[in-house]
Amino acid sequence: MKQSYFTGTGRLLWFMLRRDRVRLTLWVLGITVFTILMAPYFTDMYPTAESRQMMAESMQGPATILLCGPVYSADHYTNGAMLSNYMLLFMGAVVTVMNILLIARHTRQDEELGRLDIVRSLPTGKLANMTSAMLLAIIANVVMAVLIALGLSSFGIEDIDLAGSATFAAALGAVGIFFAAATTVLCQLSSNNRTCTSISFAFFGASYILRGIGDSSGVKALTVTSPFGLMHMTESYVRNLWWPILIIIVTSCLVALFAFYLGVRRDLGEGLISARLGRQEASALLKNPLALSIRLIRGTAIAWAAVLFVLCAVLGSLFGELETMIGENTSLTAFYSNLDFTIVEEFLTMLTGIMAIISTVAAVSFLMRLRIEERNMRTEHLLARAVARSELLASAYIPAMILPVFLIALGTLSLWGLASATVEDVPSAATFFSASMSYLPAIWTMVGLTSALIGMFPKAAGAAFGYLGYCFFAQFTVMMFGLPEWLEVLSPFAYIPKIPVESMKWGGLVVLTVIAAVLSVLGFIWYRKRDAVFY
């Protein structure tokens, strides 16, 4: 490539570091501190070899393998192996989110908002901004990996040494760099930031699911095609394999080169895959804000529905393998024989929780579109007409409340259909729907909280996604890893009965519904009172 393509890369990199000095520091330190502090916690929770061995047996269940991967060194479960099993894939997912948002913010979003027009009017190369964003992601991942490696090894915990910590941290950094490169490619193909981010997260989810299917079914060909599968195959603190990390790094370099190739051939402000042209005249159905909002989210809603349907179909097909997998493990067979519920019922509670979290992400995203439109100065055109502010908020609020119902119903139908086709003694469809639909009050509470933030604290509305991430962490880590139950107290999902393992508890559902209504009313009241456009 020509040297002129990269003119000004250093200055742009420094500018990006200056812009993200707080945001990126919080991301890196948050991931680092949380990962490091989990090492002594697991050691205190499972201090003896016997307790760790019991955890190794419980980790061989199908739901745990789906989320955390196969167990390292099941016959001799060390502190390091337990830490890596529990934390590597989970933290890899968090690192992936950081890199997707980082690259999209500095490339496609800045381009869509017209900021790159100003930058490109200066003596800068065509690939300078893209290169700077990639270098920023590499710096962030390398610094994070170094801090995690040094931090984990500094405790002096048995079996958590520097070599294993370096492998663990390098795997996290490599996966982050890979998804930074992949997002850069998708930014060249997409015509807007929303599409780029959506496809990036869909690719992230597909990669994680592909790894889960490969590990659950024992098909290694599926596992090695996923960066998460390769990351897990490093076997940190056990064998400390570096070849999977090298494969991820080499693949990342090839993907980055492909992004540069596409970047040279793309016009500023356009995507290589052009957006479909709309009609010359708007439909009569678009005469009110609600119809317009539904039209704008139609494609995204269909994509969410398709992803959830396929995911639930894949997970439902695993029901047929549960009894076989449990039967091969004498400890788990004895464990479930002493309980009042079956492994199928416990697996159902896990899957409905995952379905609820995914539907909540979709609902919050639908409502946050209003804040994005406001920041992009598009709502001004609507409010300049005979449109009330409450009507404008309702145009985003109503789809956010209703669409999760359809998403959960579609996912439950897919889950029950595949489960009933593969397992003879499967709970009824009514049980499946009761287990999944009981999460609606918690989802509506998140929607109400988001609307309250948009109305009362618009600049902090993005905190809804951070709180949702906390809810996901509290929902699954407390249940699977034995973390303190007080972590769940602040999550609305903690008050949802785990049907069919638990009986229906209407009190908590009613309270959550009331909280959702109160938060929603506050959001509407304050949205009418505050400035029409709040940047």
Residue 350 carries which side chain, given as an amino acid letter?
A: M
Tokens for 8?
């000004």
Answer yes or no: are the C-beta atoms of 199 and 186 closer than 8 Å.
yes
291-304 burial: b if 16+ Cβ within 10 Å, else e: ebbbebbeebbeeb
Q: In angstroms, rounded to a whole number, what is the distance separating the alpha carbons of residues 487 and 489?
A: 6
CA nearest to 190, candidates 107, 260, 279? 107
- Residue 139's nearest CA partner among 172, 94, 173, 185 is 173
- What is the distance between the alpha carbons of residues 204 and 175, in angstroms, rounded to a whole number? 11
| Token couple for 175 | 């996966």
pLDDT tens for each residue of the chain, 535 residues long: 445 888 888 899 999 999 988 889 999 998 998 889 888 877 777 778 777 777 777 667 666 777 778 888 777 788 888 888 888 988 998 899 999 999 998 888 888 877 887 888 888 888 888 999 999 999 999 999 999 999 998 888 878 889 999 999 999 999 999 999 999 999 888 877 778 888 888 888 888 888 888 887 777 888 889 999 999 999 899 889 999 999 999 999 999 999 999 988 887 767 777 666 667 776 766 778 888 888 878 878 888 888 888 778 777 766 666 655 555 555 555 545 445 566 677 777 878 888 888 899 889 988 888 887 887 777 777 777 777 788 888 888 999 999 999 999 998 888 888 777 777 777 788 888 888 899 999 999 999 999 999 988 888 888 888 888 888 777 766 655 555 666 677 888 888 888 877 777 888 899 999 999 999 999 999 988 877 665 4
DSSP three-state, residue 112: helix
Return the HEC string of 415-442: HHHHHHHHCCCCCCHHHHHHHHHCCHHH
Q: How far apart are CA 488 and CA 180, in angstroms?
A: 32
How far apart, in whole angstroms, are the C-alpha atoms of residue 431 and residue 33? 41
Cβ-contact 87, 38 below 8 angstroms: yes
* Residue 130: strand, helix, or coil: helix
- Express the helix, strand and coil content of the chain in percent, nearest 5 each: 75, 0, 25
Q: How is the chain split into domains, by residue range? A: 1-277, 305-535
pTM of the model: 0.76
Looking at residue 275, what DSSP letter applies? P
